[in-house]
Amino acid sequence: MKKAWISALLAGAALSCGGGDFDPQNVVSGVRVLSSRADRPYAKPGDTVQVDLLVADGRADKRVPLQVAWIPFVCTNPEADLYYACFAQLLSGGSTGGAGAGGFDLSKVPFGIDISKQLPQGTSYSVTIPKDIVKARPGQPDPYGLVMLFNIACAGKIVLAEPDPSAGAAAVPIQCVDDAGKQVPPSDYVFGYTRVYAYNERTNANPILDGLTFDGKPVDFTAGITVDRCTAIKPEDCPSHKLGVTVPASSQEVNAGQVDEYGNTLNEIVWTALYADAGRFDEDVRLLYDARAGKAPNSDATYRPGARSGSIWVVVKDNRGGSTWKQVPVTVR
Amino acid sequence: MKRTPLGRFLLRAAPFLAAAAPLVAPASAYAQAPAAAAKPTLVPPKVKSDPGAVYPKQAITDKVATEVAVILVVEIDATGAVTKATVAEPQGHGFDEAAVEASKSLVFEPATRDGQPIPARIKHRYSFPVPKSIIRGKVANQSSDRGLAAEVSVVGADGIGLPATVAADGTFTAEVATPGHYSVRVHVEGFTDPAPTELDLAAAEVVELTIRVARKEAPPEPKKPDAKEPDVEEVQVRGKKPPREVTKRTLEQRELSRIPGTNGDALRALQNLPGVARPPGLAGLLIVRGSAPNDTNIFIDGTLVPIVYHFGGLSSVVPTEALEKIDFYPGNFSAQYGRVMGGIVDVGLRDPKKDKLHGFAQVDLIDARALAEGPLGKGWSFLVAGRRSYVDTWLGPVLTAAGSSVSTAPVYYDYQAILQKDIDKNKSFRLAFMGSDDRLALIVQSGSGSDPTLGGNISLGTAYYRLQARYRQKISDKTEWKTTAAVGKDSIQFNLGENYFKLTSHPITLRSEISHKLGSGVTMNVGMDWLYTPYEIAIRLPPIPQPGQPDPGPFGSRPPLTVKETDSIYRPAIYDELEIVPWKGGRVVTGVRIDYAKDTKSWDVSPRFVFRQDVVAGAGKRTTLKGGLGVFRQPPQPQETNKAFGQIGLTSNRAIHYTLGAERELGKNVEVSMEGFYKDFDNLVVANRLNSGLGQAYGIETLVRYKPDSRFFGFLAYTLSRSTRRSSASEAERLFTFDQTHILTAVGSYRLGRGWEIGSRFRLTSGSLTTPQRYGFVDENSGSPVPLNAATNSERLPMYRQLDIRVDKSWQFKTWKLGAYLDVLNVYNAGNSEGVSYNYDSTLRTYSGSLPIIPSLGLRGEL
């Protein structure tokens, strides 16, 4: 009887949390951009900030090379901080900037023409934060500015997309197409955006990933992890291993200017996101530090190996744009 | 009202006086004379004056069908006055109180010892024969209304006829000693015999009839005007006053507590009525005629309360056993209600029982509850009730096993207390205290990959209480005054990681109305509805996405807005209504309500009009046309006028309600109703665009209802409707989130006998609306995919169907009653869809499931 009610409640929970027997987010089986990292997560006006991307290529067929390109367009302070509010600026030849932009104006590019060679390539990109970007906003304790950067990881050609009325304001302006001009499947491209916030006073450092443990033993990032091959049809039938992520308490900074409903100062939330192209994790995300309660009592993740060797990626993030990561090779016996 | 004749009392009291001889022998406290060797001469007291006892109203309500006697032990002083009366054997149903009250008017010749008056104590008996019911009426010519000499017979269910006195002018009277079912049969020479008039008489009920008959055949020349008129019978039975609204749906107690799938929860039974959509999943929402849930207000005895259901709609915040009635107005409601443009639910707490101590306790798989009530003396009575869930005992461990640290397991409770004083038959005062509390807190360590900040410390709590005072006075035969004032506290709080929402308010409400009968068929209701709510609010949340906007990305991707302020909501209102009966069978209610909202600094004037007209009168075939037209204004929600989360310069949302329908009785138990409704919305609040929104909701509701009889009750309700919105006049119309095209509900319950009852509910509704999504972007700061949304609410889920069955069994013992029930939801485990689940990047999708089969077992003991 109890189980029935439990099922009912979990069914209710599933309505909001999703469900279905799908591969979890941590399984990398195509082109993925797993994270971005700014060397100054909270920049100051006038700073030059370098942004790096963590890109994983989990495609089974990699005959078409993967290119990572940046849209040479710096969107500043979009309405309500919404990414799609930048698209109108982008297509109307709004502000451009950043290293390697070269004054490339998308508003003058015809639809469907390969623009890959005109775009800055690579997983790193630098941008200079405008000096007048910081603005006061209702409901915000401190004024701030926002720069949004757009990029695309594409196993194909990059073209300017024709407007898609069905997508409304959020229509993707850039497409990744094959030689025939047809859009490649979602597994072959990622259109992404990264936010860089600027404050006059506030600062933030990227969290530090001290190390990993695998079944309680320290992991050598170069040698990686060796596990037994598992060929079970159901991933949950494979043996489980505990992966520990060591982040020092100093990485949880005070979230300056932010207080809870009782006036107590809040700290950052720090979590780890886990990915694998060999095997899978039971959890996509594990909480490391809570804003109120501090260090989480048990933050180990559960890893289950698969049939082939590959990599796992461990990304540590805070909720103020801070990020760091490690890629660890996985070898199956 | 029945008084006990003195002679009958003496006759019946004689054996008791004899039996009371030892009692009459004076106890030491009463005997003033010293003991003597000689045997004293004792004379018991004699009744000088006994006005008799009043038959209690509660006994009529309880339908007591047999004569009852109450024996009092009466203490009489040396002057013959009654100093104390106690009930020897309580009989309940208000008889004991009536007897004690009557004893205060008793006057005795005092007992004597050797000729000297002395105190004494005797037994005194009051008998309460079942008061007779009276059927009176008139037999008249259908065309001329002239009285006709007729033969009238009243026949009981046993076939035995009762004498009826019939006058030459067609008037007749019959006294009925035993409540029950009766047929009134009429025969007039030369006229067609009308069908018997069937009546269910309660004790002391007075029924007035006019039975019209038509001539049997066309008379010879010259032809009379009424020659071809059909047989017509019109029966007028004294009944309840028609509602002020076009539609007022009231479920009877048995229906409220026995509808399958509700666990006997009356307020959950509301979700089965026409015009009420099925809420998604376990949501405890009331979706009325295409309006949003927060467009419908819930009142308890006229006092606004913030919530009606506990967590997930598992149960309501007021137990069924404490309810007297639930009035549900799906639209075109009276001017006494305002500030919403959907519907009204007004829950009435019942009066405490006054005859003796009563109580019950009930346990089921969700919660346990108890209630106690009874008299306190001097006209006071009380009721206390409480309920606590024990979901925490098993859900806490489940959540822990799922990887969460549970700091406060989910729990809810509610409580009610009533203290009532019936000052006299025209005045009553009641003090009520009620409230509820729901809370949950946990730490989620494995958050969602698509929204990583939706983890960590999560807590939720809602609570309210109200202290309510109600005074009612019938100032005169024409004027009645009722006032309800309440103070209380509402608290809503949730934390989501570092984000929070905490609202604490202290609503003070005053509702007062004077009803005055201006003349024949004209009554005026003038009232005020005053709301003042000081509040404190602390919010730290990202900007809230609005319907129709693209996905803004992960929850925590934008800097949170922070608000901490103290302010107040002040919304006074006055209203005036005229209830007019312009002609026979007609009724018109016209009114106006004037509201002021301090937060928007705006005045709202809302005129309203409804009518009802009986086009066919007569028990069992009454047919009524009804309709209404009115303006309904709803001030913006507090978050909509907040300077950080909302907009400045908003005014009230507006809806114009149009309703037209008909009701028809088909015999004694069956009634059919059908009505069409149209709601025209404008001035709706839209994010960043002030009051630019428009919309409409329209549909047809039908209800076929079999009212409860000794065996069966049931109803079939079907609603066909459509509800749409537009963000502005120039934008395309979209289906409203809570639109449901088809809503079919069938309910039936049958008493099998020997304490068994079985019931079933079947629901078939259109699926909920959803907004399809597809692969879009990646928010690289969080690593989360952000989908592209198709047009809002552009996909409908498959039809929803569910069959529920409930079985009840009760055992009656000498002093208490035991009941057990099994309520099984979704008996055949229909695989319904409550939503669409997508994989992490929205490239794959599947329907997410709904409730599986859920049995719930409950036990109940009742005194």
pLDDT digits (tens, 9 = 90+) for B793-803: 999 999 999 99
- Judge if B556 and B609 occupy the same domain: yes
Site from A84, A268, A288 to mutate, B interface, most B CB atoms within 10 angstroms: A84
Per DSSP, what are the bridge partners of residue B300?
A: B303, B347
Residues B415-435 have a mean pLDDT of 90
User: Can you give the pLDDT at residue B251?
Assistant: 63
Domain boundary at B105, B128, B151, which? B128
The tokens for B307 are 């919530």
* Rounded percentage of chain B residues whose pLDDT exceeds 70: 85
Size of interface A-B (CB pairs under 8 A): 242
Per DSSP, what are the bridge partners of residue A221?
A: none
**3 state SS for B336-394:** CCCCCCCCEEEEEECCCCCCCCEEEEEEECCEEEEEEEEEEECCEEEEEEEEEECCHHH
User: Can you give the pLDDT at residue B224?
Assistant: 40
Q: What is the DSSP letter of B843?
A: S
Question: What is d(CA B72, CA B126) in angstroms, rounded to the nearest whole number?
Answer: 8
Q: What residues make up the domain containing B752? A: 249-862
Separation in Å, CA of A333 to nearest CA in chain B? 29
Report if residue B237 sits inside a domain: no
CA angle B745, B749, B751 (to 5 degrees): 175
Residue B405 reports pLDDT greater than 70: no
Q: Residue type at A17?
A: C
Q: Residue B840: which CATH number?
A: 2.40.170.20
Report if residue B615 sits inside a domain: yes
DSSP per-residue codes, B123-176? EEEEEEPPPPEEEEEEEEETTT--B---EEEEEETTS-EE--EE-TTSEEEEEE
- Residue B531, classed as helix, strand or coil, is strand
Tens of pLDDT, residues A133-144: 999 988 888 899
Question: What is d(CA B815, CA A195) in angstroms, rounded to the nearest whole number?
Answer: 73
Tens of pLDDT, residues B624-634: 999 999 999 99
User: Is residue B427 very low, low, confident or very high in pLDDT (cuts 50, 70, 90)?
Assistant: confident
Residue A276 near residue A29, CB atoms below 8 Å: no
- Residue B396, classed as helix, strand or coil, is helix
User: What angle, rounded to 10 degrees, do the helices at B392-401 and A2-17 form?
Assistant: 50
User: Can you give the pLDDT at residue B211?
Assistant: 83
User: Is residue B248 very low, low, confident or very high in pLDDT (cuts 50, 70, 90)?
Assistant: low
Per DSSP, what are the bridge partners of residue B205?
A: none
Residues B719-735 have a mean pLDDT of 93
Domain boundary at B193, B213, B233, which? B213
Question: What is d(CA A328, CA A310) in angstroms, rounded to the nearest whole number?
Answer: 9
Report if residue B438 sits inside a domain: yes
User: Is residue B745 very low, low, confident or very high in pLDDT (cuts 50, 70, 90)?
Assistant: very high
User: Can you give the pLDDT at residue B314?
Assistant: 74
Residues A61-72 have a mean pLDDT of 93
Question: What is d(CA B704, CA B718) in angstroms, rounded to the nearest whole number?
Answer: 9
Question: What residue has token string 């990686």?
Answer: A224
Q: How many residues does chain B have?
A: 863
- Residue B602, classed as helix, strand or coil, is strand
Domain ranges, ordered by start, for chain A: 31-198, 211-332
Question: What is d(CA B351, CA B863) in angstroms, rounded to the nearest whole number?
Answer: 17
User: Can you give the pLDDT at residue B171?
Assistant: 85
- Judge if B343 and B482 occupy the same domain: yes
Average pLDDT over all residues of chain B: 82
- Judge if B599 and B676 occupy the same domain: yes
Tens of pLDDT, residues B299-338: 998 899 988 888 767 788 888 888 877 888 999 999 999 9
User: Is residue B21 very low, low, confident or very high in pLDDT (cuts 50, 70, 90)?
Assistant: very low
DSSP per-residue codes, A153-194? EESSEEEEPPP-GGGGGG--SEEEE-TTSPBPPGGGEEEEEE
Residues of A in contact with B643 (CB under 8 A): 138-139
Range of lowest pLDDT (A127-131, B301-305, B421-425, B828-832) = B421-425
Q: How many domains does chain B have?
A: 3
Give phi and psi for A85, each to the nearest 5.
-70, -10
- Judge if B208 and B304 occupy the same domain: no
Q: Residue type at B266?
A: A
Maximum average pLDDT range among B145-154, B273-282, B838-847: B838-847
Tens of pLDDT, residues A146-162: 999 999 999 999 998 88
Q: How remote is the C-alpha of B575 from its chain's centroid? A: 23
The tokens for B121 are 């104590």
Q: How many residues does chain A have?
A: 333
Residues B716-728 have a mean pLDDT of 95
Give phi and psi for B468, each to the nearest 5.
-125, 135
Tens of pLDDT, residues A284-317: 999 899 888 889 888 899 999 999 999 999 999 9
- Judge if B797 and B760 occupy the same domain: yes
Per DSSP, what are the bridge partners of residue B756?
A: B753, B809
User: Can you give the pLDDT at residue B373?
Assistant: 93
Residue A98 reports pLDDT greater than 50: no
Report if residue B789 sits inside a domain: yes
Q: Residue B155: which CATH number?
A: 2.60.40.1120
User: Can you give the pLDDT at residue B402?
Assistant: 60
Q: Residue type at B594?
A: I
B497/A273 Cβ within 8 A: no
Domain boundary at B91, B113, B128, which? B128
Residue B192, exposed/middle/buried by CB under 10 A (0-12, 13-18, 19+)? Answer: middle
User: Is residue B348 very low, low, confident or very high in pLDDT (cuts 50, 70, 90)?
Assistant: confident
A22/B839 Cβ within 8 A: yes
Is residue B550 less than 8 Å (CB to CB) from chain A? yes
Tens of pLDDT, residues B468-526: 999 999 888 889 999 999 999 999 998 887 788 999 999 999 999 999 999 888 999 99
Per DSSP, what are the bridge partners of residue B501?
A: B494, B539
Give phi and psi for B862, each to the nearest 5.
-140, 130
Tens of pLDDT, residues B644-675: 788 889 999 999 999 999 999 998 889 999 99
Return the residue of A nearest to B500 by Cα.
A261
> Residues 636-675, chain B: which have Cβ within 8 Å of A?
643-645
Tens of pLDDT, residues B63-99: 676 788 888 888 998 888 888 888 887 788 888 888 9
Q: Residue type at B617?
A: A
DSSP per-residue codes, B736-777? -TT--SEEEEEEEEEEEETTEEEEEEEEEEPPPEE--EEEEE
- Judge if B56 and B173 occupy the same domain: no
More confident residue, B196 or B8: B196
User: Can you give the pLDDT at residue A14?
Assistant: 38
- Judge if B647 and B629 occupy the same domain: yes
Residue A123 reports pLDDT greater than 90: yes
Q: How remote is the C-alpha of B65 from its chain's centroid? A: 27
Distances (CA, A) of A195 to A37, A257, B189, B732: 10, 20, 97, 33
User: Can you give the pLDDT at residue A310?
Assistant: 95
User: Is residue B544 very low, low, confident or very high in pLDDT (cuts 50, 70, 90)?
Assistant: confident
Q: Residue B17: which CATH number?
A: 3.30.2420.10
Report if residue B241 sits inside a domain: no
User: Can you give the pLDDT at residue A6?
Assistant: 35
B450/A290 Cβ within 8 A: no
DSSP per-residue codes, B230-272? PP--------PPPPSSS--EE--HHHHHH-TTTTT-HHHHGGG
- Judge if B28 and B172 occupy the same domain: no
Separation in Å, CA of B295 to nearest CA in chain A? 23
- Sequence-distant (≥ 6) Cβ neighbours of residue A61 within 8 angstroms: none
Which string of b and e fits B735-774 if b means at least 16 CB within 10 Å?
bbbbbbbebbbbbbbebeeeeebbbbbbbbbbbbbbbbbb
- Judge if B178 and B76 occupy the same domain: no
Residue A120 near residue A62, CB atoms below 8 Å: no
Is residue B500 less than 8 Å (CB to CB) from chain A? yes
Query: What is the CB neighbour count within 10 angstroms for residue B620?
Result: 17
Tens of pLDDT, residues A221-260: 999 999 999 999 888 899 999 999 999 999 999 988 788 8
Per DSSP, what are the bridge partners of residue A244?
A: A213
- Residue B562, classed as helix, strand or coil, is strand
User: Can you give the pLDDT at residue A18?
Assistant: 40
More confident residue, B701 or A18: B701
User: Can you give the pLDDT at residue B264?
Assistant: 72
Residue ranges of the alpha helices (H) in B596-702?
Answer: 638-641
Rg of chain A taking only CA atoms, in angstroms: 22
Residue A240 near residue A264, CB atoms below 8 Å: no
- Sequence-distant (≥ 6) Cβ neighbours of residue B577 within 8 angstroms: B244, B334, B335, B336, B524, B525, B526, B589, B590, B591
A290/B456 Cβ within 8 A: yes
CB-hemisphere CA count at 13 Å for A193?
A: 28
Tens of pLDDT, residues A169-226: 777 788 999 999 999 999 999 999 999 999 999 999 999 999 999 999 999 999 999 9
* Rounded percentage of chain A residues whose pLDDT exceeds 70: 89
Report if residue B640 sits inside a domain: yes
- Judge if B170 and B117 occupy the same domain: no
Is residue B321 less than 8 Å (CB to CB) from chain A? no
Tens of pLDDT, residues B578-604: 999 888 888 999 999 999 999 899 999
- Judge if B207 and B338 occupy the same domain: no
Question: What is d(CA A44, CA A200) in angstroms, rounded to the nearest whole number?
Answer: 6
B644/A292 Cβ within 8 A: no
- Judge if B199 and B311 occupy the same domain: no
User: Can you give the pLDDT at residue B482?
Assistant: 93
- Sequence-distant (≥ 6) Cβ neighbours of residue A173 within 8 angstroms: A87, A90, A91, A106, A160, A161
Report if residue B392 sits inside a domain: yes
Q: What is the DSSP letter of B718?
A: E
CATH of domain A211-332: 2.60.40
B657: left (phi over 0), alpha (psi -120 to 50) or beta: beta
- Residue A35, classed as helix, strand or coil, is strand
Query: What is the CB neighbour count within 10 angstroms for residue B198?
Result: 14
User: Can you give the pLDDT at residue B243?
Assistant: 58
Sheet hosting strand B68-76, strand order edge to edge = B82-87, B68-76, B120-128
B838/A19 Cβ within 8 A: no
Residue B614 reports pLDDT greater than 70: yes
| Reported ipTM | 0.92
Question: What is d(CA A294, CA A300) in angstroms, rounded to the nearest whole number?
Answer: 16
